[in-house]
Amino acid sequence: MWKRERAEPIDLEQVLTESPVLVAPAARPVMPPSAPAVEVPAQRAVAPKGSTLGATLRFKGDLVADEDLVIQGQIEGSVLHTRSLTIGSQGRVHGDIRARRIIVEGLVEGNLYALEKASLRPGSTVRGDVFAAEIAIDEGACLNGRVDMDNAPAVPTIKVPPPGSIEPVTSELSPVQADALLRGS
């Protein structure tokens, strides 16, 4: 880039010993005495809970998570989640999803198994069946599949490589283990 050279040298000692220039804050308007004072609570920056998989991320395989998660990228494989899972507006999942709460704003091609609630937001598309105790389908959401509110989430099947091996082994969790995993116990 451009560099601008100073014509006169800077005396560092002078800069350090000079007192700083104080700027008076701008005057605030005064409310007339008849108007009651309204206290506005200070807004705090809220740290996001959980994690976000960005829009440029492409993940292939089975994803297991135990914290709130927002998926904006592409996932090819099943997702087993013990908390709240959001498929963002840019998110694409090609596989089954099992979670406590599922919010879909993007595209899911697979079945949804929600322990508590599944929400399909405007602009979302789900091509698969939805199994949940409670479901909300907003106007503008697209569901190509069936809704089953009577059956609990199915037992998840996860491919996990044994220690020291790179070959995945399919292991099916028992209903008790799956329930404990989904309930966060």
Domain ranges of the chain: 51-183
Percent of the chain whose predicted confidence (pLDDT) is above 90: 38
pLDDT of residue 45: 40
Task: Pick the more confident residue, 104 or 171.
Answer: 104
CA distances from 111 to 15, 44, 99, 165 (A): 67, 38, 11, 30
| pLDDT average, residue stretch 144-149 | 92
Task: Pick the more confident residue, 116 or 181.
Answer: 116
What digits encode the pLDDT tens for the residues 73-85? 999 999 988 889 9
Task: Pick the more confident residue, 25 or 86.
Answer: 86
| pLDDT average, residue stretch 19-40 | 52
7-21, 71-85, 96-110, 124-138: range with lowest mean pLDDT: 7-21
Q: What pLDDT band is residue 155 in, cutting at 50, 70 and 90?
A: very low
Cα separation of 153 and 97, whole Å?
10
CA distances from 94 to 124, 137, 166 (A): 14, 20, 23
The structure's pTM equals 0.58
34-48, 55-69, 131-145, 157-171: range with lowest mean pLDDT: 34-48
Cα separation of 9 and 22, whole Å?
25
Cα separation of 154 and 173, whole Å?
10
Beta bridge partners of 58: 74
| pLDDT average, residue stretch 45-52 | 60
Task: Pick the more confident residue, 165 or 59.
Answer: 59
Within 2-136, residue ranges assigned H as helices are 12-17
CB burial readout 114-149, b (16+ within 10 A) else e: bbebbbbbeebbbebbbbbeebebeeebebeeeeee
Chain-centre distance for alpha carbon 109: 19
H or E element that contains 183? helix 175-183
Give the Cα-Cα-Cα angle 132, 138, 143 (nearest 5 degrees): 60
Q: Return the number of other C-beta atoms located less than 10 Å from residue 89's C-beta.
A: 15
